[in-house]
Amino acid sequence: MEEQKIRVLIAKPGLDGHDRGAKVIARSLRDAGMEVIYTGLRQTPEMIVEASLQEDVDAVGLSILSGAHNALVPRVITLLRENDMGDVPVFVGGIIPSEDTVALIDAGVTAVFGPGTRMDVIAATIRKAVAERA
C-alpha cells in the first residue's frame, strides 16, 4: 500500500508577475516528496479555490510580492470555507510586512514564510499542518 502523498497547490494570486519564488517552493516541495499543483501567474482567489477543490489538495500555498495580500488572502480563506474546505491549511510566502503577518494569521493563515526561510522548515511546517488536519 502506498504512503499518503501530500498534495499542495502553489498559486500566484493577483497581478505581480514574479514567479521565481513560487517556482523555487514548488520545486523544493516536489523534492520533499509532495505532489505540487502549480497553477501559474495572475490567478484570482476564485480560480485558486476552484483548482483547490477539483484537485482536493491538502494545503494551499500563496506567493504574493505585490502588496495586495491583505485583500487577496482573506478572500481565498473565505472562499475555501464557503466550499467546505475551511480545514485546508493556507500558507503565504513573499514580501509580507511583519504587522500584516499577525493579521493574516488571525484571518486563518497557518504560517507566513518570508525571504530566507529554510526549505526544510517550510516542508516540515506543511507536513505538520496536514497531519494535524487528518
Considering only 27-35, 59-67, 103-111, 112-120, which stretch makes contact with another protein by CB under 8 A? 27-35
For 17: left if phi > 0, alpha if psi spans -120 to 50, otherwise beta; the answer is alpha
CB of residue 81 to another protein, shortest distance in Å? 12
Least distance CB 38 / another protein (angstroms) = 5
Number of residues that bind another protein (CB under 8 A): 30
Q: Distance (Å, rounded) from C-alpha 119 to C-alpha 17? A: 22
119 binds another protein (CB under 8 A): no
Q: Which of residues 35-64 bind another protein (CB under 8 A)?
A: 35-40, 43, 46-47, 50-51, 53-56
Calpha distance 16→132 (Å, rounded): 32
Can you tell me the distance from the alpha carbon of 94 to that of 90, in angstroms, rounded to the nearest whole number?
14
The answer to the question of residue 73 lying near another protein (CB under 8 A) is: no
